[in-house]
Amino acid sequence: MHRFIKLTFSLLILGGAGFGLLSAPTRLDAAKLAATTPGDVNRGQNIFWQGGCASCHAASGATGDAKLVLSGGEELATPFGTFVTPNISPSKQGIGDWSLADFANAMTHGVSPDGRHYYPAFPYTSYARMQLQDVADLYAFMKTLPPSDNVAGPHKLSFPFTVRRGLGLWKRLYLSDQPVVTIANATDAIKRGQYLVEGPGHCGECHTPRNAIGGLDKTLWLAGAKAPEGKGVVPNITGGEGGIDSWSAQDIAYSLESGFTPDFDSLGGSMAKVVQNTAHLQSSDRDAIAAYLKAIPAHPNGYPAQ
């Protein structure tokens, strides 16, 4: 009996050590970050709109210049609980004291300056595919935005989702800097669109179904999904049945600029916020996104029939 207790105790210690090792936060290679050039504010402004930062971090209903005040506080309802977006303005309550390394590790590895895992309601699983120079440029632009003293409230979660350390294991399954799809003979425009959609644009975070532990089902990439709020769906944006096969590339690009569909309806729900960002993109980038969406594998709807 004594030997059994010792063995059990030893296994618990080993298991705990293994969990600690496998769930530990990982960070960027400092040498890679050092290879970037000083951030370009003008390029960073373009990346800001590509990433849609204001959609989640500006105050609800903000318009015009108010969308550049990233005070946080928006509540994002999900099956795992309600996440509250943080203040990411250049203030002490936001990212005012962050270094470029702090910012880049948050964006690409989902790790806070004090070494905690961020919840993937922050779409770092997509931002992980961003070029580090783009991250540096975005950081430079973010530092020019108006500061806010707002202190966003805490997330509203229940156990076990309050245990952040377990996210280290989740990241081992779902955090990758590799492209999602392989497109044979891709043109430069398709390659650019792939970067924008799979990286800063993080389109897959809403348009791809998730499994029971919140990981994206990449076999149904962009096939549509249940809305995270629990009501309605996020549409299929592939060429599969129920998707956008009937839309031309020009239709897609125009909708990203104007918010109108080919049949003169308007894009609603959270997509209305997305268009407030994509309307700021260079026309060549909207064309590139359209080219990519027309080139990816077609899938049937990734959500149950409504």
CB 167 within 8 A of CB 23: yes
Number of domains in the chain: 2
Q: How much is the pLDDT for 166?
A: 87
Residue 200: inside a domain: yes
Q: In whole angstroms, give the CA distance from residue 36 to residue 28.
A: 13
Instruction: Give me the phi and psi of 117, to 5 degrees please.
Output: -75, 135
Q: Which residue type, as a one-letter code, is found at position 50?
A: Q
Q: How much is the pLDDT for 305?
A: 63
Last residue of a domain, one of 152, 174, 196: 174
139 lies in the same domain as 202: no
E runs forming strands in 155-218: 156-157
- Strands 81-84 and 156-157, by their bridges, are antiparallel
Q: Can you give the CATH number for the domain in which 201 is found?
A: 1.10.760
39 lies in the same domain as 106: yes
Residue 23: inside a domain: no
Residue 85: inside a domain: yes
Residue 288: inside a domain: yes
Last residue of a domain, one of 174, 208, 224: 174
Q: In whole angstroms, give the CA distance from residue 223 to residue 258.
A: 23
156 pLDDT above the threshold of 70: yes
DSSP string, 3-64: HHHHHHHHHHHHHHHHHHHHTS-----HHHHHTSPPPPHHHHHHHHHHHTHHHHHSPTT--G
66 lies in the same domain as 91: yes
98 lies in the same domain as 132: yes
Beta partners for 78? Answer: 81
**pTM recorded for the entire structure:** 0.89
Which range, 108-112, 154-158, 164-168, 262-266, is most confident? Answer: 108-112
Please give the average per-residue pLDDT across 274-285, as a whole number: 95
* Whole-Å CA distances, 261 to 171, 250, 251: 36, 11, 7
44 lies in the same domain as 91: yes
Q: In whole angstroms, give the CA distance from residue 35 to residue 241.
A: 45
Q: In whole angstroms, give the CA distance from residue 249 to residue 62.
A: 31
156 lies in the same domain as 229: no
Please give the average per-residue pLDDT across 171-178, as a whole number: 94
Residue 145: inside a domain: yes
**Average pLDDT score over the chain:** 89
Last residue of a domain, one of 110, 145, 174: 174
Count of Cβ atoms closer than 10 Å to residue 152 Cβ: 19
Residues making up the chain, counted from first to last: 306
155 lies in the same domain as 223: no
Picking from 144, 120, 116, 123, the residue whose alpha carbon sits closest to that of residue 39 is: 144
Please give the average per-residue pLDDT across 7-27, as a whole number: 54
Please give the average per-residue pLDDT across 160-164, as a whole number: 81
Beta partners for 117? Answer: 111
Residues 48-84 as b/e (b if ≥16 CB within 10 A, e otherwise) read bbbbbbbbbbbbeebeeeebbbbbbbbebebebeebe
E runs forming strands in the chain: 75-78, 81-84, 156-157, 225-226, 233-234
300 pLDDT above the threshold of 70: yes
3 pLDDT above the threshold of 70: no
Residue 10: inside a domain: no
CB 102 within 8 A of CB 118: no
Q: How much is the pLDDT for 21?
A: 58
Domain residue limits at 261:
188-295
Residue 141: inside a domain: yes
38 lies in the same domain as 170: yes
151 pLDDT above the threshold of 60: yes
135 lies in the same domain as 244: no
Per the structure block, which two tokens stand in for 230? 């629990």
195 lies in the same domain as 169: no
Q: In whole angstroms, give the CA distance from residue 286 to residue 269.
A: 20
Residue 182: inside a domain: no
- What percent of the chain has a predicted confidence (pLDDT) above 70? 92
150 lies in the same domain as 194: no
72 lies in the same domain as 32: yes
202 pLDDT above the threshold of 50: yes
Q: What share of the chain is helix, strand, coil (3-state, %, to 5)?
A: 45, 5, 50
- Strands 81-84 and 75-78, by their bridges, are antiparallel
Per the structure block, which two tokens stand in for 84? 């509250």
